[in-house]
Amino acid sequence: MKHCNVHFQPDNLVTTIHAGATLLEAAGQARIILSTPCGGIGRCGKCAVRLLPSQKEVLACQYIIEHDLTISVPDSSRFFKQKILEYGIQRKVSRFPSIQKIFIETPPSQIDAFCELLTEKGSVQVVPDTPDSALLSQLSTGQQSGITAILSLGDCAEQNALPSCYQLTGLEPGDTTKKLYGVAVDIGTTTVVTRLMDLNTGQIIATASVGNPQSQYGADVISRISHCENESGSEQLHRDVIGCLNDLLQSVARQAGIEYCDIYEMTAVGNTTMNHLLLKRPVHQLGQAPYRAYSLDTADRKPKELGLQMNPAGNIHVLANIAGFIGSDTVAAALACGMDIADTKTLLVDIGTNGEIVFGTQSSLMAASCAAGPALEGAGISFGSRAQAGAIERVFLDRGDIDVDVIETPDATTICGSGLIDAVAVMLDLGIIDETGRFCEPDELDPMLSNSIRKRLITHNDEPAFVLAGKYTEHQWQSPVVLTQKDIRQMQLAKAAIRAGIELLLKNARTDTADIQQLLLAGAFGNYIQKKNAVRIGLLPQIPIKKIHFVGNAAGSGAQMALISQEAREMAKKLAEKIDYIEIAHHTEFQMVFSEFLLFPEN
């Protein structure tokens, strides 16, 4: 088979791939992750790259490679460069990691005697792992500088009903007790975030994040599940996430100046599909009614089983899921927010392509998922993007005109979800759109509307549009960033899906918005929105702003808790069992409630 070299600029990366592959596949192979919200079917236009030297623009997902190529990849087509949210709230838990190290200065050569000594020294029950002759011979050679035992809280704890029963899973020459690190991983559909922690102290040492490379097969989980129709598809997605985790492990190890083999433990959270792909569990049933998970249980795996570059004596713990569409990331977020001990009626909302909502108190908790679609992450919006450099993240009225905050650059090129919410709120307040989302006719506009605002009303691609940013010279807008009528409609669909989810979940709990004592906004997106504008457009219920709190990347915080605390793992497991999943999309009233919330609230 003929192979071709594809040279990517400005990365200066070359990859060799068989003729007939697409440029998108070649980019993925070179670990250049392109934006592919439509899943590579040629509709969204977000994967555009340029052929060099001609500068001809082509869609990477559609372009078939027939010979050697040089490609220029613009930032606007890349998946990375998003703002990565710092980890959120931290609930205190006692540090009690599932991996421990004990140093024995003069080790006996018999494994049983060695374990007895460890039991005595560590005040924990230690049993040998499956009889291991290599382990024994290693012991019997005798180490001048002593031996460090690696102990893992594993199956023996359950079998012996001993909470402090450890298995001896590894030995290291000398005293390595100070080197004991772990990573908490949040595998998002769009972004994978990793945080390195010192398990001896519970301190955070380094953070790294990257776009989920599976995104090249679609922005949402359904596209990824479709890609897994054949075995090679699921193998590919599994390999992608493992490759991405290995890159992140290397990155945090490098930042901290440690070796990857100093990392012994990983806790991973993500939605149910991400969990299944990580663990190589079948996903096809997640794509069809009744959307069942292959397994909701926690899982523990050895690094070698998954191909992860950590210490081979280490462990990967994946938290439990709640249902097919509510995964361990929601469990981790609920754990971090203390919903298992909450006395006040708490609504936790994680806004994303798939919105997740949890409501209740410690005595009763229920969760729902709502397919908001990617509009709030910029997909399907004319100038939409994720929160990346050049994106408008805030829109406000200043002295009778529009002003915007742009991420990292002076000039706006796109608009991200938080900017979109602000823009719609401002347009509603100014009467530019009415409560149905329709652009008002010129004769319907407030006569007091300033000229600065009026000149922002233009036609873009034969649609009414509102200019948010750009240069106005000689009665014309140069490089404007606009919101069109279609964009407003996309936004209405997204916000109605989330709001309908909230309302129906509350209805199931036989309560209403007046009873919400606190509303916690989680997730990367939630943290950047202006609360009053989210309420203004009806994305969030009409409750006092002071009851709404940002909790940041709560799923990541929960993963951290589970990394350093065995107790937190148990709490997470119980939470996953305790939270009732409520199916919203098939609720008899869904269509009615959804239609009701397509409208914007009156001012």
Closest distance of CB 47 from ligand FES, Å = 4
Closest distance of CB 217 from ligand FES, Å = 10
Which is nearer to ligand FES, 38 or 165 (by Cβ)? 38
Which is nearer to ligand FES, 167 or 236 (by Cβ)? 236
Closest distance of CB 218 from ligand FES, Å = 8
Choosing from 40, 188, 324, 437, the residue that interacts with ligand FES (CB under 6 A) is 40
Closest distance of CB 379 from ligand FES, Å = 9
Residues 184, 553: Cα–Cα separation, whole Å:
12
Distance of CA 514 to the CA centre of its chain: 30
Closest distance of CB 78 from ligand FES, Å = 12
Choose the binding region for ligand FES from 1-9, 11-19, 40-48, 169-177 (rule: CB under 6 A): 40-48
Helix (H, G, I), strand (E, B) or coil at 239: helix
Binding mask 42-81 for ligand FES (x = CB under 6 A): xxxxxx-----------x-x--------------------
- Which region, left, alpha or beta, applies to residue 114 given φ > 0 means left and ψ of -120 to 50 means alpha? alpha
Which is nearer to ligand FES, 79 or 325 (by Cβ)? 79
List the interface residues with ligand FES, window 7-36 (CB under 6 A). Answer: 36
φ/ψ (deg, to 5) at 548: -100, 125
Binding mask 199-218 for ligand FES (x = CB under 6 A): --------------------
Which is nearer to ligand FES, 38 or 579 (by Cβ)? 38
Query: Per residue, what are the HEC states of 339-372?
Result: HHHCCCCEEEEECCCEEEEEEEECCEEEEEEEEC
Which is nearer to ligand FES, 57 or 66 (by Cβ)? 57
Choose the binding region for ligand FES from 39-47, 343-351, 435-443, 513-521 (rule: CB under 6 A): 39-47
β pairing state of 147-153 and 125-128: unpaired
Closest CA to 489 of 353, 599, 370, 335: 599
Distance of CA 343 to the CA centre of its chain: 28
Which is nearer to ligand FES, 45 or 74 (by Cβ)? 45
Closest distance of CB 594 from ligand FES, Å = 27
Which is nearer to ligand FES, 59 or 497 (by Cβ)? 59
Confirm or reject binding of residue 509 to ligand FES (CB under 6 A).
no
Closest distance of CB 232 from ligand FES, Å = 20
Helix pair 133-140, 111-122: axis angle to 10 deg = 80
Helix (H, G, I), strand (E, B) or coil at 564: helix
Closest distance of CB 16 from ligand FES, Å = 22
Pair 424, 439: CB distance under 8 Å: no
- Say which DSSP state 75 is in: G
Residues 64, 42: Cα–Cα separation, whole Å:
13
β pairing state of 165-173 and 299-301: unpaired
Is the bond into 290 cis (omega within 30 degrees of 0)?
Answer: yes
Which is nearer to ligand FES, 44 or 196 (by Cβ)? 44
Which is nearer to ligand FES, 25 or 172 (by Cβ)? 25
Which is nearer to ligand FES, 217 or 359 (by Cβ)? 217
Choose the binding region for ligand FES from 37-45, 248-256, 499-507, 508-516 (rule: CB under 6 A): 37-45
- Residue of minimal Cβ distance to ligand FES: 61
> Which residues, including other chains, have CB under 8 Å from residue 306's CB and lie 6 or more apart?
242, 278, 279, 316
Closest distance of CB 61 from ligand FES, Å = 3
Which is nearer to ligand FES, 45 or 601 (by Cβ)? 45
Which is nearer to ligand FES, 23 or 135 (by Cβ)? 23
Count of residues interacting with ligand FES (CB under 6 A): 11
CA dihedral over 279, 284, 287, 289, signed as positive or negative: negative
Choose the binding region for ligand FES from 41-49, 349-357, 463-471, 488-496 (rule: CB under 6 A): 41-49
Closest distance of CB 80 from ligand FES, Å = 16
Choosing from 6, 21, 30, 38, the residue that interacts with ligand FES (CB under 6 A) is 38
Residues 422, 404: Cα–Cα separation, whole Å:
10
| DSSP code per residue over 479-495 | EEEEEEHHHHHHHHHHH
3-state helix, strand, coil in the chain (%, to 5): 35, 30, 35
Closest CA to 563 of 320, 255, 267: 267
CA dihedral over 18, 22, 26, 28, signed as positive or negative: negative
Report the interface residues with ligand FES, using CB under 6 A. 36, 38, 40, 42-47, 59, 61
